Amino acid sequence: MTVNIPRHVAIIMDGNGRWAQQRGEERIFGHASAIESVREAVKGAIEHGVEYLTLYVFSTENSGRPKEEVEGLMELFCKCANSELEELVKQGVRVKGIGSRSNLSMTVLESLKDIETKTYGGDKLTLILALNYSSRWEITEAVKKIVGSGIESREITVERISEALSTSACPDPDLIIRTGGEQRLSNFLLWQAAYSELYFTDILWPDFDRNEFSKAIDHYAGRERRFGLVKQ
Crossing angle of helices 67-83/35-48, nearest 10°? 50
At residue 4, φ and ψ (nearest 5 deg) are -85, 90
- List 14, 16, 172, 174, catalytic entry: 14
Active site residue 14: yes
Q: Are 200 and 183 in contact (CB under 8 A)?
A: yes
Residue 218 annotated among the catalytic residues of the structure: no
Q: In the chain, which residue ranges form alpha helices assigned H by DSSP?
A: 16-22, 27-33, 35-48, 67-83, 85-91, 106-118, 135-148, 158-164, 210-221
Cβ atoms of 46 and 213 closer than 8 Å: no
Catalytic residue among 62, 114, 207, 209: 62
CA distance 4 to 197: 13
Give the active site residues.
14, 62
